[in-house]
Amino acid sequence: MGRYEGNPVWDDVVPIPQEEGEGALAQIAYTDEYVEAMGYLRAVMAAKEHSPRVLDLTEHVISLNAAHYTVWLYRASTILALDIPIDKELEWMNEVALENQKNYQIWTHRQTLIDHIFPTLSSDPAAAQAFADAESAFMAEMFEEDAKNYHVWGHRQYIVRKFNLFDSDAELKSIEALLHEDVRNNSAWSHRFFLVFSNPAYTTAGSRATEHDPKIPDAMIDRELAFAQAAAHEAPQNQSAWEYIRGVLRKGGRELATLEGFAGEFVRIPEGGEEDIRSSHALDFLADAWSEKGELDKADMALRLLGEKYDRIRKNYWDWKRGLLRGAKV
């Protein structure tokens, strides 16, 4: 007797067996438990049954194969059909997500259910706030396991957009806290960029991350530059901060040369003396800043230093850039 066969609750259901055939590709040593659960899942799907026992069955299947792409959809439609309170489902999902860090179906499922209750939720600002706070708390728990979990960061953007948290102090603070924890957390830097430069209150709708956006106030550009510069001082060889600086300059329509002095703090090249380089990214930054100003000899020297001494791992690349600089055919 299995979990379903011979069980009075499932007595009326005839499972639909898998038609595997002979000599199949990538055969898996399924357990009897898995084979049985899949047969019953097919049967309830064929009968379009949406009932409490289906919730148990889908939960069981998910525990065996969380990447089953249709069981999640079937579960969502069952929850909606039965009008199950969403918070109960979220609670269950939190556990499943913590156990399945790499699974992405669970996040789509979560968003389907949030989309469903959102119209009701948004009519009550206090309830909406409480809901968003609970989501943030759960994501903080996920970040304790892995602060760079891609799916969780994707969900975080979804929540920010859905509940318009762009101006939320708590949101910006929590990103700062994560960066305080690990200043090299590129996911957190990336989220900050999104939060600041996609805020509908003062940005051009649809402006891409790689474009100048004239609507952004100067003070905002200054604030972000100061934040990233402080981080670069803290860890000069952290590429995340340097990329952020370049991104902010581009958003603000400012030239790299406007930060030549700052980058120069990490790069001292006295004439005739030994140079003192504390960040290859600063040198890279200066090469582009000098090239932008037409100081090609200086730019070439910076690229040469990178390839020959300070970033030898990318020597071929720096040599290629030197070739581009001279307009040489490559």
Residues 24-83 that bind another protein (CB under 8 A): 24-31, 34, 38, 42, 45-46, 64-70, 73
Does position 233 interact with another protein (CB under 8 A)? The reply is: yes
**For another protein, which is the closer residue by CB, 10 or 156?**
156
CA 301 to chain CA centroid, nearest Å: 37
Report the site for another protein in 6-25 (rule: CB under 8 A): 16, 18-25
Q: What are phi and psi for residue 204, nearest 5 degrees?
A: -75, 130
- Does position 96 interact with another protein (CB under 8 A)? The reply is no
Q: What is the DSSP string of 257-305?
A: GGGHHHHHTTEE--TTS--EES-HHHHHHHHHHHHHTT-HHHHHHHHHH
**Binding mask 284-323 vs another protein (x if CB under 8 A, - otherwise)?**
----x--xx----------------xxxxxxxxx--xx--
Per-residue interface string for the shown chain with another protein, residues 271-290, x marking contact by CB under 8 A:
------xxxx-------x--
Nearer to another protein, 7 or 31 (CB): 31
| Cβ proximity of 236 and 283 under 8 Å | no
- CA dist 203 and 221 (Å) reads 12
- Minimum Å gap between C-beta 94 and another protein is 19
Q: Taking CB under 8 A as the rule, does residue 234 contact another protein?
A: yes
Report in angstroms how near the CB of residue 104 gets to another protein at its nearest.
6
Provide the 3-class DSSP secondary structure of residue 25.
coil
Residues in the chain: 330
Of 130 and 150, which CB lies nearer to another protein in the complex structure?
150
Please pick, from the candidates 49, 89, 182, 265, the single residue that binds another protein as defined by CB under 8 A: 182
Per CB under 8 A, does 209 bind another protein?
A: yes
The least CB distance from residue 244 to another protein, in Å, is 7
30, 14 Cβ separation under 8 angstroms:
no
Q: Judged by CB, which is closer to another protein: 167, or 234?
A: 234
267 — phi, psi (to 5°)?
-135, 110
Distance, CA of 11 to chain centre: 45
**Residue 235 within binding range of another protein, rule CB under 8 A:** yes
Left (φ > 0), alpha (ψ -120 to 50) or beta: where does 18 sit?
beta
